[in-house]
């Protein structure tokens, strides 16, 4: 039942027919999937559901928070406070908070921000429905109200993580690794294909581990093959792979299956043995080099995205130089770098002191990103004259904005095609000649 606020709803009677529910999603695409599932439930109950509205002023506001690192937590708290103000002045009727921040800091938040009608964790957000006197529809559990452009969707294949990376709070928030069944994921994808979705982003906390908990075997290759067999699946893209215990059989699937993008997002975080050991990444520098070489040899033309963490306790300038050498040699097509955030509850927080000044962390991030800018510019220049399959996501200013199979939505670069080009539609694929390039974008016709 709803907290001591004692809001009584006649059983089964919706709050007010067609009430407006504003859902605000912060954080990653895994959070977005949760929001979409909850939105579908409100939809079928007759509520008007909006997502990330410009002026969210619905009777009911639900904030799906992120609690991963400092900046993300701050953004979540500021968003809650913004709506707590509206709630205090009765500009909104109900304010609910869910997701990773409230999973991690439930008690503190309840004390600190009493204007919130109720805080939910990461996995019990469907209680919002029952607390509103509604029934959760289990028969719709595979259904979502998509918030992405209608032609692509995120598919979360598992929850949680069994790794023990020193700096990471995610296992504290999401718990142990739990794979969804292959059949469940297949049915979800089939349902979305029937709604016109063509492109699927496979996501998890740790894609590599998929199946090991449930089937006692690395099942990502088999899962990807079965999804690739579904008629109407045009692109399947893999995100959040983990380097240790890597499911090598996935490389054959990527090489042989036309609709499995030659793209892999694999977070490496670092490469010096000193750092990999302190970060508890269960892999060595030598093994990392071997893995990247093997992936490139097995899947010619693959585009690799990686994420690097700078400023972890104990990191020396020598470690950073080793990392710079590595990215110059490995030439990642896509790369993001972040500064270490000292997260309470993590192994690093309990074991090391956060001894690297923030300005040094940021300088190291900037140095790595400026190297990457040069690499990205060279890779893009080399694409001029090539013809690539591009999907159109939207129109922006004087351009159709699209992506190749090497570009994941929201995080990677885009292809800009003049708006004057006739017969181009959102959500359709076009063979596109690359005519120009910048460091982080391509121009096509
Ligand atoms: S693999 Fe490591 S960094 Fe990724 S979610 Fe798990 S513990 Fe965190």
Q: Using a 6 Å cutoff on CB, does residue 163 contact ligand 1?
A: yes
Q: How far is the CA of 162 from the centre of ligand 1 (A)?
A: 8
The SS3 assignment for 436 reads strand
Same domain, 51 and 38: yes
Same domain, 158 and 282: yes
Q: How many domains does the chain have?
A: 3
Residues contacting residue 414 through CB under 8 Å, at least 6 positions apart:
393, 401, 402, 403, 407, 441, 442
- Answer for the pair 65, 25: CB distance below 8 angstroms, yes or no: no
Q: Using a 6 Å cutoff on CB, does residue 171 contact ligand 1?
A: yes
pTM: 0.93
- Residue with CA closest to ligand 1 atom 2: 165
pLDDT digits (tens, 9 = 90+) for 175-193: 999 999 999 999 999 999 9
Q: Using a 6 Å cutoff on CB, does residue 161 contact ligand 1?
A: yes
Same domain, 287 and 203: yes
Per-residue model confidence (pLDDT) at position 9: 40
* 209 in a structural domain: yes
**Residue ranges in 99-237 assigned as alpha helix (H):** 100-104, 106-112, 127-131, 170-174, 182-194, 220-228
Q: How far is the CA of 163 from the centre of ligand 1 (A)?
A: 6
Cα separations in angstroms, 237 against 145, 150, 207, 419: 21, 16, 11, 27
Q: How far is the CA of 288 from the centre of ligand 1 (A)?
A: 17
Owning domain of residue 285: 152-382
Q: Using a 6 Å cutoff on CB, does residue 281 contact ligand 1?
A: no
From the alpha carbon of 174, which atom of ligand 1 is closest?
A: 5
Domain boundary pick from 362, 382, 402: 382
Q: What is the DSSP string of 280-339?
A: T-S--HHHHHHHHHHHHHHSTT-EEEEEEEE--TT--HHHHHHHHHHHHHH--SEEEEEE
CA-wise closest residue to 278 among 289, 287, 270: 270
Per-residue model confidence (pLDDT) at position 18: 65
pLDDT digits (tens, 9 = 90+) for 38-59: 999 999 999 999 987 777 778 8
Task: Provide the CATH number for the domain around residue 420.
Answer: 2.40.50.140
Same domain, 352 and 391: no
Same domain, 169 and 290: yes
Q: How far is the CA of 65 from the centre of ligand 1 (A)?
A: 18
Q: What is the dihedral of CA 346, 348, 352, 358, to 10 degrees?
A: -100
Same domain, 253 and 352: yes
Q: How far is the CA of 283 from the centre of ligand 1 (A)?
A: 13
Distance CA 137, CA 43 (A): 11
Q: Using a 6 Å cutoff on CB, does residue 165 contact ligand 1?
A: yes
The SS3 assignment for 277 reads helix
Same domain, 180 and 216: yes
Cα separations in angstroms, 12 against 8, 51, 129, 280, 330: 11, 24, 10, 50, 58
Q: How far is the CA of 164 from the centre of ligand 1 (A)?
A: 7
Q: Using a 6 Å cutoff on CB, does residue 159 contact ligand 1?
A: no
Tokens encoding 335? 């790369």
Same domain, 219 and 272: yes
The SS3 assignment for 377 reads helix
From the alpha carbon of 281, which atom of ligand 1 is closest?
A: 2
From the alpha carbon of 164, which atom of ligand 1 is closest?
A: 7
Q: Using a 6 Å cutoff on CB, does residue 122 contact ligand 1?
A: no
Same domain, 156 and 54: no
Per-residue model confidence (pLDDT) at position 10: 42
Per-residue model confidence (pLDDT) at position 17: 53
Q: Using a 6 Å cutoff on CB, does residue 170 contact ligand 1?
A: yes
Q: Using a 6 Å cutoff on CB, does residue 206 contact ligand 1?
A: yes
Same domain, 349 and 430: no
Task: Provide the CATH number for the domain around residue 299.
Answer: 3.80.30.20
DSSP classification of residue 208: G
Q: How far is the CA of 242 from the centre of ligand 1 (A)?
A: 8
Per-residue model confidence (pLDDT) at position 6: 42
Domain boundary pick from 120, 140, 160: 140
Q: Using a 6 Å cutoff on CB, does residue 168 contact ligand 1?
A: yes
Domain boundary pick from 347, 382, 417: 382
Per-residue model confidence (pLDDT) at position 15: 46
Per-residue model confidence (pLDDT) at position 55: 72
Same domain, 183 and 325: yes
- pLDDT under 70 in the chain at which residues? 1-18
């Amino acid at each position: 039942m709803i907290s001591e606020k004692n809001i009584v709803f006649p059983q089964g009677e919706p709050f007010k027919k067609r009430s407006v529910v504003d859902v605000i999603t912060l954080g990653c695409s895994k959070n977005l999937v949760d929001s979409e599932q909850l939105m579908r439930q409100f939809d079928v109950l007759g509520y008007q559901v909006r997502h990330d509205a410009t002026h969210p002023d619905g009777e009911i506001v639900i904030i799906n928070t992120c609690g991963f690192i400092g900046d993300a937590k701050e953004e979540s708290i500021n968003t809650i406070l913004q709506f707590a103000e509206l709630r205090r002045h009765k500009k909104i009727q109900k304010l609910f908070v869910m997701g990773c921040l409230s999973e991690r800091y439930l008690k503190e938040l309840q004390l600190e921000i009493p204007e919130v009608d109720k805080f939910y964790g990461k996995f019990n957000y469907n209680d919002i429905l029952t607390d509103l006197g509604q029934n959760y529809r289990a028969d719709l559990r595979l259904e979502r109200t998509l918030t992405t452009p209608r032609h692509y969707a995120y598919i979360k294949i598992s929850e949680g993580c069994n790794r023990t990376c020193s700096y990471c709070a995610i296992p504290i928030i999401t718990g142990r690794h739990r794979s969804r069944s292959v059949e469940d994921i297949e049915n979800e994808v089939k349902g979305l294909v029937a709604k016109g979705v063509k492109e699927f982003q496979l996501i998890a906390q740790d894609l590599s581990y998929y199946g090991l908990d449930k089937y006692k075997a690395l099942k990502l290759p088999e899962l990807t093959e079965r999804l690739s067999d579904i008629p109407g699946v045009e692109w399947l893209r893999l995100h959040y792979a983990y380097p240790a215990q890597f499911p090598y059989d996935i490389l054959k699937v990527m090489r042989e299956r036309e609709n499995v993008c030659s793209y892999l997002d694999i977070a490496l975080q670092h490469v010096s043995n000193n750092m990999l050991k302190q970060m508890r990444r269960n892999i060595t520098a030598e093994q990392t080099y071997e893995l990247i070489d093997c992936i490139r040899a097995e899947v010619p033309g693959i585009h690799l995205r990686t994420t690097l963490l700078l400023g972890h306790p104990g990191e020396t300038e020598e470690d950073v130089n080793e990392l710079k050498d590595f990215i110059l040699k490995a030439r990642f097509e896509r790369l993001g770098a972040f500064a270490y955030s000292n997260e309470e509850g993590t192994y690093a927080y309990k074991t090391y002191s956060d001894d690297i000044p923030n300005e040094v962390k940021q300088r190291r991030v900037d140095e790595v990103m400026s190297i990457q800018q040069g690499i990205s510019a060279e890779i893009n220049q080399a694409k001029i004259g090539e013809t690539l399959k591009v999907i159109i996501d939207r129109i922006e200013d004087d351009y159709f904005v699209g992506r190749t199979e090497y570009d994941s939505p929201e995080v990677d670069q885009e292809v800009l095609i003049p708006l004057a080009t006739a017969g181009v539609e959102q959500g359709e694929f076009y063979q596109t000649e690359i005519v120009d390039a910048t460091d982080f974008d391509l121009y096509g016709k």
